[in-house]
Structure 1
Amino acid sequence: MKTVTLTLSGVLLATSALIAPGLAYAQSTPTPVEAPGPTTQTPAEEAQDAEPEENQLDEIVVLGRYIPEPNRQSPEVAAFLTSEDLERTGDANAAEALTRVTGLSIVEGRFIYVRGLGERYSSALLNGSPLPSPEPLQRVVPLDLFPAEILEGVTVQKTYSVNFPGEFGGGVIDLNTVDTPNEPFFNMTASIGGNTETTGQDGLIYFGSRTDFLGFDDGTREVPGELALAFRSGKRIVSSNYTRAEIARIARSLENAPLRLLQEETTPINGSFRVTTGASTETGLGTLGALLVAGYDNSWRGREGVRQTGRIDNRRLVVGNDYDFRSNQNDIKLNALGAFSLTNEFNTLKWTNLYVRNVTKEARSTQGIQDSSGFLRTDNTEWFQRELFSSQLAGGHTLTDRIEFNWRAAYAKTTRDAPYETRFGYGRNAAGNLSHNVGTNPNISFSTLDDDVVSGGADLSYTLPLSDFREAKFSVGVSSSDNNRTSERRDLRFAPISTLSTDQLESRVDYLFSDFNIGQYITLSEDTVANGAYEGELQVNAAYAQVEAEVIPLVNITAGWRYEDAQQDVVLVDQFTGSRAIGSSLAKSYWLPAATVTWNFAEDLQLRVGASKTIGRPQFRELAPQAYTDTESDRTFIGNRYLRDTQLINVDARLEWYFARQQYLTGGLFYKDMSNPVETSAIQGGEGIQQTFLNAPGATIMGVEVEGKKYFEFPDNGMSFIANKRWLVQANYTFSDSEIQVGSGDRIRTEQNLGVGERATNLLTDGARLQGQSEHVANLQLGWEDDTDRSQATIIVNYVSERISARGIAGNPDLIQDPGVFLDFVYRKDFTAAGRELGFALELRNLLRTDYDEFQELGSSRISINKYELGRSASVSLTARF
């Protein structure tokens, strides 16, 4: 069989040959027109020129010589972050790195929105296995948990293929950890940094324990023995269940000054340290490799800003609550990755273990005017420890030259422990001095969250040759996952036994709640909600069948069906009686089809078109009809047990031109039709902002994506600085537009209305944008690479336009967040000193001093819901390579 390799001008001949082979054989090969890259004829082309009358062309193949390997192998619309990309941008974790990908934006520094769809519509995998989440409000794992140094790359697949979980709206994010090396190495990196709003500034702190800087408490925050016994007794801590002396003993066992007293201190610099090492050796069974990555990071973030709430007065938006706040947050992060592999000619075994611990220690004070109560000040001290442990065993086996078998089994567990969340309120007395508001709110809370996933899967593929140059790959697979979550919270409140004196009410917090006053003037009472705990479980069993085939030369088709059967339950648990009540139960099966066609119609140029049906399931917290306060925003969220699954129809098209090695230009269109999308809505309740969840009747989202990457090299005309470098321009832009569809007859079931349908138009506006969706997302990278000088520099620009953070209370405008423009600069240089290979890095972040800004707006009136300065950041690091 003979093969002709076509350049761009050969498309016409290829088309003619497919339609009328006889005519094509009679034609002579046209002279190729110069195209980007080499144009030398292949041996097959030379042979055809020499003996055209004797050649018989059975098929015509276009070779995409510049199409990168991941893009060539992936049949779907996807984006790939490589280790080179991660190093260039210098991002600290996966969440930051993914903001550089077309159509992706970051929310709260942790969660990724793909094409304007919230994190609930995307799934995150670690080496192909699902992950649990330590976040109370999300089932999706926050991506700031994954430091960049443990990642080999990240795949973001934007069109659905049936080998992935069916929960797919915006995309699937597969985090690939670093692999074992071929050569032994040992690297150490240390860095220091600071922020203009934090470092060297006076910030709020509380002492905590002596080992807080390590990310571990020394036992100070452990639940005291007397309190632990009371929690286990099943009796609420109130005077009807305990004597006054017993309650006093419990209250005195609580830690006082180290965890309650706010102070001011100069905030230190940020610092981090990490070690990476690996090696491999030959054994009788194959190559045995091992890799270890360990890191420690200690950073500070100070914030000073405004938090307001708005209300409508005489058809004008006016300020209700008006607070100023100060916060100082210490983040301590530890991570360790251990990977082992055994490979030979036909088999690969990998065992990957990851441990991540993120601790947040925060001191915060808020004061201002409460709409109905006048002056109010609230002081908070908090300690949140999030842990993730994942262990995965995976294997790949080549059974014959046509049959491959792959499998994986994983266990992952996350925990979130928040001991001693303290909250103390103050007003002003007749003399204008600060005075404790004793007994008004819960003062001390203990909460825990455990979330684990046991998962496994297997894939079997068979490759059928269709010709010497084409083949079809048939794949079948099964997978199963069992996600379990438990959440508990206990709230305690100090209350006066008798009238407190002015001196007592004006005293320091640790003096007022000292052992002397407890039992004599102050008692303890428990405010825990009876059904304040819940258990959630999601079991998903799935099977799929898929075929990937080059059905005719130039055209590849990937098509398949996935069957998913899921049972999702949320059970409300009474922490005093142990009784259990079904909060929500969703059981449903789906058939999910997907197909993508790729037409490589010209050299290094291809068109992809895909369509699929996918789903999105409500998250556990969204289904639990309980109140939960988010400390990041000081907002209370209430679940809705009547939520239903979201169903999506997805259509994508993308044209890709890889005109030179590592250089490309792509453009794409996408459209999604959504049934029952989940939205967050603000509701009336108390003095602050409360939010709940509801199913909108429907929504659509459509958009355009453009991305390009180009290198430039210039001749030496006396400007060696320019000539010795390879200059980079890389940019992407996404425009998306969404609309909620609400008809006059549509009804919504809410928790506040106890599941009784009410008019959707009372809560939603037809044609409004989807929550979280930004019309414009753009990224730009400008930089150079100098192999001679061993240096690299990049200017990075990221822009995200306004998006809805929550629906406003009926009749009020929506809450809007304006992420704005961020400008960063990263410089890296390798050099040799004292015979040692070293690497230096400088990172400058937020050079434009963009603020965090969330607001409500009506006409000329604007309310700052949450606004503070982020400041500019800088860090330097040094790496030693051994």
Structure 2
Amino acid sequence: MKLKFLVIALFIFAVGFAQEKATLTGILTDKDMNGAPLPFASVTVKGTTISTTTDETGNYTLSVPAGEQTIVFSFLGYESREAVLTFTTGETQTLNQELGSTSVQLNDVVIEQQVSREKESALLQQQKNAVEMKQNIGAQELSRKGIGDVATAVAKTSGISKQEGSNNVYVRGLGDRYNSTSMNGLPIPSNDPEKKNIFLDIFTTDIVDVISIDKVYSTRLFGDFAGGNVDIISKEYRGQGMLEVSVGSKVNTNAINKNGEFLLQDGPGKLGFKNYDYASNALTAYTFKNSLTPQKENPYAGSLGFKAGDSYQIGEEGRLSLFATANFSNNYDYREGLNQTVSAQDATINSYDQERFQYATNTTGMFNAAYRVNSNNKISYNFLLVNSSNQFRDTFNGTIRDIAEQDNGLIQRGTYVKNTLMINQLLGNHKIDSLTTIDWGASYNKVISDMPDRTQNTLRNTNGTWNIAQINTTDNHRYYQTLDEDELAAKLSITRQFGSEINGQARGNLSVGYNGRFKKRDFEAIQFNFRLTQTFLAQAVDPNNLDALFNSTNYGNGAFTIEAYAGMTPQTYSGDQDIHAGFANIDYKFTEKLTASVGLRYERINQTVSWRTQFDAAGRSDTFDKNEFLPNLIFKYEVNDKQNLRFAASKTYTLPQFKERSPFIYEDINEIKFGNFDLNPSTDYNVDFKWEFFPERDELFSAAVFGKLIQDPIAEVNLASSTNDISWVNISDEGTVYGVEIEARKNILNFESEFTNKLSFGFNASYMKTKQDLDAEKVRQDTNGRLNINPTNSTSGFTGASDFLLNTDVSYTKDWSADGGITATVMYSHYSDRLYAIGIQQQGNLVDKGMGALDFVVKSRLGRHFGVDLVTRNLLNPTFERVQENGGGDVPVVTFKRGAYIGLGVTYKL
């Protein structure tokens, strides 16, 4: 009864309060950006504490006292605007307002200082106001640090690192399987059959407006999440018309030292688009197109890029914005060093001096069209094409077990990988009324990944003479694989404001919606093995002229035969994965200081993998269905106008990937990998606590504590076998991750002048611990005895995780005119020792020793049209070292230096 009376009293009070109020709604737009919405701008009733901020689409709703009121519109770095309006009780008025950036007049010359949400200060303001916990990297920061790709940008943020020699990004100690990637809020597929996420380094920063990193789960994200989600917000043009051309050149100090001796395999083109296939009679004739003789190259890299954009007024309210960019870059790398495997007693199994020549290309093209119908409706289309290629010519000189055990062996492998990604997205945002908005999107993505004609040959030197060596037919082969994947995705959310008002703003937002993701992958591979006669095994050969032996004439004379596992029938696997998700989320402001976000997401997951491989020639399939209910909770407490406290908790899951579940064999030089169809998903529980302090508009101090419990963690492990087999298993019942992150951005000196003249400092660091049990009995039970592991230790950390990560930078910016200036930035990053592979059969763990990188970047503007950039990377050129932690001490197994990188670029703007 008391509760009923209280509810009635509150209702009467709310009605009485509302009768003295009116409502003002509208949208704030950016004058400098041709009417683009202005999110997180302030709308205030002058002389009162009644205020609100615009949402991400620039919309606002404010409860205003009846009578004549002065409304103030403001945004950081923009001129404030005021409007005097008269309100009557209960009425609703609409006022759309346009804000322009601050202008400073000097001797009758007006200098317009353009400010956009790509600015670091604006993104910090967005981070401060948002309920969700995320980090944003904008175009301004990317430019200042001379960052050319998304992977490098992400690795500069706290708690995130990139593994040496791979494209893996680790978030809070969690690798590829625990992370996800999206573009404009829609998922994008991987371009590697072994990975869940696409290689972030193929995305150039030319296409990026903002990189948003979620390390805390919210219901708008798919539930396959534990480490983080990287969302690439594509660039949308907002200006009056532009055309920009840029050219650049880059060298690697290791590579240019091999000028005249830089060797690559024959076949792949210099632009990275070339592809080729094997002939239909490859088993009955020697019809391979590419020579086995290496080709000499001049290792000087370059880049060429174009950007263009314009916008057009359509009718009284409409605006069409168009933006396009195209960019091509290539890169030469060289490294040389030790690569070996050793026993638990430090005895050498295989030991090589590995030499790698590498050539990579990246071609990116993007087109974006955004049509703002009016202040309430916007539709946009994004198309992105990314084509990347990578050539490796590896030579391994030294000891080969059972073949050349007197340090007299040689393995030559030539690898060419070409990946093409096409993304198509259609997005919409609509304001139905002052309280309701609808966001939707749909995408179709396609990935084609090819590894055509990977060659491998094994040789042995006897008394100064090289001969082809052969223990197994796989010692000399040519290999082809291709992956074709199609993916459809959709999102729809409806958001409605509700509840009584606080400071003129509705207390709550209710969002409900749907997400869908439907993926289909087809993969096939075939390997042609060469079996030589004893006569030709004894024939002397030149390692750089193997065409003298492997040719159609010698094949016709019976010098060798060509074999494949199932004739001309490739090994295959296919994967189908459907995810349907519904969600609801409530953001509610309990007081002026305390806001909560509570959400629940339901996902229905179906994953089917089918295969026909040398493990299972008849072929079969395996399916699992999973229903997940995923709650999440976020609290934000505004200590004052400069400090926030945040808390978050959530439940998520981790899915195994297609290749991890299909028994397809992939042979590398020192290892063999195959999938495990008994692999099960993991369940993840996440908790975060964070403090933020914003002393000035572009300054930040923050500290965060996080923890994760992962049930049935998935690990890549060496099996108990004689052939160094590797597979994926649920390694234990649970694993844990916990740690702390700190971040600081501070202006050291900020000289007062008409133009920018300041020295700034950035720093972030994280310290974490990861642990998982190594349960051999669980692996045996889960796989019905098919797979066995024999770990040296009973526990381990997570592979790829460093206990300590550090990034720091110091920047000096000096502008001497509106169109002239210079920014110089010194950056240093460091990671501590991290586990590469878990030790087995009394062998110690493989550990990558900690190392650091020093970069120096200078960006200059020489008037309205010209800019010159100098980018130098890895100036300290430390030695990368992987060791095996045996009882007698650390034994080096991989060592090399990457070399330093020096690049010079020139930009011309019309």
Fold in common (TM above 0.5): yes
**Deviations for 1:784-835, whole angstroms, at most 9, x for unmatched residues?**
1112261101110111111111112232111111351011011111013xxx
1:74 corresponds to which of 111, 130, 137: 130
Correspondence 1:400-549 to 2 at 5 A: 400-429=433-462, 431-437=463-469, 439=473, 441-467=475-501, 468-497=504-533, 499-500=535-536, 502-503=538-539, 505=541, 508-528=545-565, 532-549=571-588
Among 748, 758, 772, the residue aligned to 2:800: 772
Shift of 1:44: 4.0
In 1, the alpha carbon distance for the partners of 2:634 and 2:361 equals 44
Q: Compared with structure 1, are the counterparts of its residues 744 and 688 closer, same or farther at alpha carbon in structure 2 (3 Å cutoff)?
A: closer
Q: 2:288 is matched by which residue type in structure 1? A: L
SS at match of 2:151: helix
Output the CA distance in 1 between the equivalents of 2:777 and 2:330.
54
Q: Is the 8 A contact 1:679 1:696 kept in 2?
A: no
Distance 2:524 2:686 in 1: 38
AA matched with 2:242: F
CA 1:575–1:863: 2 relative to 1, 3 Å: closer
Which SS does the other structure have where 1:500 is aligned? helix
**What does residue 145 of structure 1 align with?**
202
Once residues 250 and 881 of structure 2 are traced to their aligned partners in structure 1, the CA distance between those partners, rounded to angstroms, is: 25
| Structure 2 SS opposite 1:198 | helix
Q: Distance between the aligned counterparts of 1:432 and 1:415, measured in 2?
A: 44
Whether the aligned pair in 1 keeps the contact of 2:266 and 2:293 (CA below 8 Å) is no
Matches within 5 A, 1:641-790: 641-685=677-721, 690=726, 692-713=728-749, 725-741=757-773, 746=778, 748-749=780-781, 753-754=785-786, 762-763=790-791, 765-788=793-816, 790=821
Match in the other structure for 1:557: 596
1:326 counterpart (355, 371, 377): 355
Query: Is the contact made by 1:371 and 1:687 (CA closer than 8 Å) also made in structure 2?
Result: no
2:416 is the alignment partner of 1:378: no
Deviation at 1:129, TM superposition (A): 1.0
Letter in 2 for 1:827: V
Where does residue 100 of structure 1 map in the other structure? 156
CA contact (8 A) 1:414 1:450 kept: yes
Task: Write out the 4+ residue segments of structure 1 that deviate beyond 6 Å after TM superposition.
Answer: 63-67, 575-578
Query: Once the 2 structures are TM-superposed, how far is the Cα of residue 372 of structure 1 from its aligned partner?
Result: 3.4
Matched residue, 1:618: 656
Match of 1:366, SS state, is strand
Deviation at 1:854, TM superposition (A): 1.8
Query: For residue 43 of structure 1, what is the aligned residue in structure 2?
Result: 47
The correspondence for 2:241, drawn from 145, 163, 184, is 184
Looking at structure 2, the residues matched to 77 and 376 of structure 1 have their Cα atoms a distance apart, in angstroms, of 55
Q: Percent identity?
A: 22
Name stretches of at least 5 consecutive residues in structure 1 with no aligned partner. 1-40, 47-62, 228-236, 238-246
Query: Residues 195 and 688 from structure 1, CA distance in 2 versus in 1: closer, same or farther, beyond 3 angstroms?
Result: farther
Measured in 2, the distance between the counterparts of 1:146 and 1:269 equals 22
* Structure-1 separation of matches of 2:474 and 2:598: 61
Task: Work out which of the residue numbers 86, 103, 125 in structure 1 matches 2:142.
Answer: 86
* Superposition deviation, residue 329 in structure 1: 0.9
Question: How much does 1:519 deviate?
Answer: 2.1
Taking the aligned partners of 2:232 and 2:362, their CA distance within structure 1 comes to 19
Q: Tell me whether 691-700 or 355-364 shows the greater mean CA deviation.
A: 691-700
Find the aligned partners of 1:341 and 1:167 in 2 and give their Cα distance. 30
Q: For 1:459 and 1:452, locate their aligned partners in 2 and report how far apart those are by CA, in whole Å.
A: 24
SS class of match (2:177) = helix
Question: Structure 2 length normalisation: TM-score?
Answer: 0.82
My pick for the range that moved more, 724-733 or 185-194, is 724-733
Equivalents in 2 of 1:547, 1:444: separation in Å? 57
Give TM-score scaled by structure 1 length.
Answer: 0.84
How far, CA to CA, are the matches of 2:803 and 2:392 in structure 1? Answer: 34
Partner of 2:847: 816
Whole-Å Cα distance in 2 between the matches of residues 128 and 509 of structure 1? 51
5 Å-filtered alignment, 1:565-576, equals 565-573=604-612
Measure the CA separation in 1 of the matches of 2:602 and 2:760: 45
Q: 1:145-192: CA deviations, max 9, x gaps? A: 211111111111111111110011011111111012232101111110
2:749–2:759 contact (8 Å) kept in structure 1 = yes
**Distance (Å, rounded) in 2 between the aligned partners of 1:502 and 1:573:** 37
AA of the residue aligned to 1:181: R
Which residue in 1 is equivalent to 2:14?
none
Give the Å deviation of 1:866: 2.3
Query: What SS does structure 1 have at the residue aligned with 2:141?
Result: helix
Residue equivalent to 1:58: none
* Range 401-410 or range 469-478, more displaced: 469-478
Residues in 1 aligned to 2:704 and 2:524: alpha-carbon distance in whole angstroms = 46
The one of 151, 174, 183 equivalent to 2:231 is 174
1:308 and 1:863 in contact (8 A); partners too: no
The SS at the match of 2:142 is helix
Q: Quote the Cα distance in structure 2 between the aligned partners of 1:548 and 1:286.
A: 32
Please say if 1:292 is aligned against 2:319: no
Q: How many residue pairs end up in the alignment? A: 780
| Residues 259, 286 of structure 1: alpha-carbon distance in 2 compared, 3 angstrom cutoff | farther
Structure 1 range deviating more: 160-169 or 676-685: 676-685
1:876 Cα deviation (Å)?
Answer: 0.6
Look up the SS of the partner of 1:414 in the other structure.
strand
Q: Within 2, Cα distance between the matches of 1:744 and 1:637?
A: 19
SS in 2 for 1:69: helix
Q: CA deviation at 1:843?
A: 0.8
Report the CA distance between 1:538 and its aligned residue: 1.3
Residue 291 of structure 2 aligns to a residue whose secondary structure is helix
Q: CA deviation at 1:224?
A: 2.6
Alignment RMSD? 2.7
Per-residue Cα deviation, 1:394-453 (whole angstroms, up to 9, x for no partner): 111111111111111101111111111111110123x33111125452411111111221
After superposition, the Cα gap between the structure-2 partners of 1:370 and 1:90, relative to the gap in structure 1 and judged at 3 Å, is same
Residues 799-814 of structure 1 aligned to structure 2 (within 5 Å): 799-814=830-845
Aligned to 2:390: 360
How far apart are residue 544 of structure 1 and its match?
A: 0.3
Distance in 2, Cα, partners of 1:96 & 1:566: 32
Does the C-alpha gap of structure 1 residues 751 and 626 become closer, same or farther in structure 2, counting only changes over 3 Å? farther
Distance 2:277 2:870 in 1: 40
User: In the TM superposition, what is the alpha-carbon distance from 1:680 to its structure 2 partner?
Assistant: 1.6
Distance 1:869 1:576, change over 3 A: closer
Q: CA deviation at 1:694?
A: 3.8
Q: Secondary structure at the match of 2:475?
A: coil
Match of 1:479, SS?
Answer: strand
Which structure exhibits the higher relative contact order, with contacts defined as CA atoms closer than 8 Å and separated by 6 or more residues?
A: 1
Which residue, out of 257, 265, 279, partners 1:224? Answer: 279
> Matches of 2:714 and 2:440 in 1, distance apart?
34
Output the CA distance in 2 between the equivalents of 1:878 and 1:749: 61
1:309 matched residue in structure 2: 341
Match of 1:390 in 2: 423
In structure 2, give the amino acid aligned to 1:278.
G
Comparing 495-504 with 555-564, which one deviates more in the overlay? Answer: 495-504
Correspondent of 2:666 among 628, 645, 649: 628
Query: Given the alignment of the two structures, is residue 129 of structure 1 paired with residue 133 of structure 2, yes or no?
Result: no
Partners of 1:497 and 1:520 within 8 A in 2: no
Of stretches 79-88 and 808-817 in structure 1, the one that deviates more from structure 2 is 808-817
